[in-house]
Structure 1
């Protein structure tokens, strides 16, 4: 049977956490999927772990090269057989109902191109840090495009034809999602479910990765400002510069999440904590 959903999972050096990520897909209430697991030149035992799964719906691809996330996502999209393409990282955990609820929504709303969900942020030990609450409508998600889009990349599911038409740009390192939304938001339709359907792992913050993202976002904003004569986007560069200063101060002073509270979001309520504990526990067994 042809899968309705193709899940692209590029992975790099995540041998310790990959099993739980894949288990969270195998445990889905919705089962008509294929998982395209692409190893991006890992140096640890990630490929060995990937090949340990016997489920025929899991396709493992490896060429020994390190091509980075944007290229690997485009590769996964090109290999997809499903009507819908979903994102998944090798260190995150999808809730059991994630695929089912996203498929149901997209089937009922054919004009929506990309659909996200709310996320729970957790640390390396599985302890919840908070929840990141995204806006749900296209207008709200895209209200300040020069500042960002409220649509968490690891939660995306969209129409495969849309992703094939709108490829990730390979130079958009550490901001490939923002770059894609920035280029397409005025000709596409985005939405986000109000449910927490993905656990997003943040073990630590890398200043190098954050500053790389800030620089590349600034470059994309300047390009849009001058090529499309939308000069308001140039002010976003100033905002990125200010945020880079705050990031640098927070991380170099080891204050991290005390200052960068937005990276772990809002406080979870008791029912959300209980639900997460169950989701996390279910994904730990091989």
Structure 2
């Protein structure tokens, strides 16, 4: 381990990750940017993850070990405490950093000193037993206003491509909170967006792997979804200064948690009324950029329409779409522009067969 402080710390919690860990570490070693330390925190892995780590003989790799299993939140917070770089980049044990990721983000943060968090688009590698792998491009809002506005509906930052200006988080006492479990990053970005500026680079700088060994599936995914709703509700309540009832929380979940749970045309209009009430609250308090929040509301409405379209006949769908759109955004022409944008966004995110990369 070099004695001179590196420019960038790269944090990777490790627990039961032997299958993909080697590729993840190698993607760090293959970075064009060389001034980094990789902090691997082993949280008492039950498999051969430590054996994989031991095969790497790079002095920039620092292995930390917990005496007992502490969980992901504690692992992330310890990495934040131990990091010595000006910037802290995150990479999970089963994800990949493209070779120019760190260089691109350091250059961006140097040119934009007011920005505290830099993310990017990402590729999702979908792996299923017995089926060919698929790749999907994940597109996120780019500007801070758009990122901040979207926080109330989705997580607009891919943690596997996030690089943070570490001192900005330390000075404000921002840490990962244990009550949010596997939604810890979403909660962190939500809290930080109240006080810090975010940007996403509009091209993929890494790949997020979806595979059968992940913990965020089945019952664990349901828990994660409930934690995500809590992040959204807390953000709305503190930003728009409105209390959210149990029924409203349920409506919000129906409109944001995939697969969307929209029962019929009446339920669809209840969601439209809820989204319209959020718009009015934001016009009063200006907690989110008005234009960005309006666009996000209509995009979320578009997502609801696309989800419910197969269950409704054409005439009923047209009536519901028009009525709901007018409720949410009185400037129907502007709303329709957002609707078209939402459809185009869905087309961009179509999947394709995975092509093996050789530049990791």
TM-score of the aligned structures, taking structure 1 as reference length: 0.83
Within-5 A mapping of 1:75-114: 75-114=78-117
CA distance in 1, matches of 2:167, 2:250: 32
CA distance in 1, matches of 2:17, 2:127: 12
Distance 1:66 1:240, change over 3 A: farther
Within-5 A mapping of 1:119-268: 119-124=122-127, 127-164=133-170, 165-204=173-212, 206-224=217-235, 230-231=241-242, 235=248, 237-241=250-254, 246=259, 266-267=349-350
Runs of 4+ aligned structure 1 residues displaced above 6 Å come to: 262-265
Distance 1:72 1:170, change over 3 A: same
Aligned to 1:119, the other structure's residue is in SS state strand
Residue 37 of structure 1: aligned partner: 40
How many residue pairs match? The answer is 266
Instruction: Measure how far apart 1:105 and its partner are.
Output: 0.2
CA distance in 2, matches of 1:242, 1:138: 23
Instruction: Measure how far apart 1:229 and its partner are.
Output: 6.6
**1:2-29 superposed Cα distances (whole Å, 9 cap, x missing partner):** 2000011001111111110000000000
The answer to whether the aligner puts 1:11 opposite 2:14 as a matched pair is yes
Instruction: Tell which structure's C-alpha radius of gyration is larger.
Output: 2
Distance 1:245 1:189, change over 3 A: closer
Gaps of 5+ in 1: 249-258
Instruction: Measure how far apart 1:123 and its partner are.
Output: 3.0
Aligned to 2:182, the other structure's residue is in SS state coil
Q: Comparing both chains, which one has the higher relative contact order based on Cα–Cα distances under 8 Å and sequence gaps of 6 or more? A: 1
Residue 62 of structure 1: aligned partner: 65
Distance 1:192 1:199, change over 3 A: same
Distance 1:135 1:243, change over 3 A: closer
User: After alignment, is 235-244 or 211-220 more displaced?
Assistant: 235-244
**1:35-80 superposed Cα distances (whole Å, 9 cap, x missing partner):** 0001112110011211221100000111242212121111001111
Gaps of 5+ in 2: 262-306, 308-344
CA distance in 2, matches of 1:88, 1:95: 11
- Higher share of residues assigned helix: 2
